[in-house]
């Protein structure tokens, strides 16, 4: 089975933060993970690359936890799939 969106998000964050992926819980908040504004930029950049999506600035500002991040990414990935059904 291929890697789930949640697993991919956790992997990207773990790589970006240089921490073991096991140390991140899916319900962690950015605050708990010590992710500040600049880390967020870095993670958003990496996620955009991982999923080949564009994350809107204003929407990104509302996201404060991994749950919300996974939900947001899932939405964007679904929107992308329905926009290009052939892929």
Partner 1 sequence: MTRVVITGVGVVSALGLDRLEFARALESGHCGIRPIAAIDTAQLKFNMAAEVQGYKPEEQFLAKDLAFMDRFAQFALTAANEAVVQAGVEWTTDLKEQSAIVTGCCMGGRGAEEAGYWELFHNNRTRVHPFTIPLSMSNAGASHISMRYGIQGPAYTVSTACSSSAHAIGQAFWMVRSGVVPLAIAGGSEAPLFLGGLKAWEAMRVISKDTCRPFSADRTGLVLGEGGAMLVLEPLDSALARGARPLAEIVGFGMSSDAVHITQPSPEGAARAMRGALRDAGLAVEQIGYINAHGTATEANDKTETAAIRAVFGDYADKLAVSSTKSMHGHALGAAGALEAVASVFALRSGVLPPTVNFTAADPACDLDVIPNVARKQAVEACLSNSFAFGGLNAVLAFKAYV
Chain contacts with partner 1 (rule: CB under 8 A): 36-38, 41, 44-45, 54, 57-58, 60
* 22/57 with CB nearer partner 1: 57
* 22/58 with CB nearer partner 1: 58
Report the candidate in 26, 25, 85, 15 with the shortest Cα–Cα distance to residue 49. 15
Angle between helices 37-51 and 5-17 (to 10 degrees): 130
The β-bridge partners of 29 are 65
* 6/16 with CB nearer partner 1: 16
């Amino acid at each position: 089975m291929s890697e789930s969106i949640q697993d991919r998000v956790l992997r990207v964050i773990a790589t970006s933060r240089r921490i073991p992926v096991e140390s991140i819980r899916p319900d962690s908040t950015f605050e708990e993970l010590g992710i500040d504004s600049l880390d967020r930029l870095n993670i958003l950049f990496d996620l955009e690359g991982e999923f080949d999506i564009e994350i809107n600035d204003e929407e990104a500002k509302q996201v404060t936890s991994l749950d919300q991040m996974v939900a947001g990414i899932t939405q964007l990935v679904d929107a992308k799939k329905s926009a290009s059904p052939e892929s």
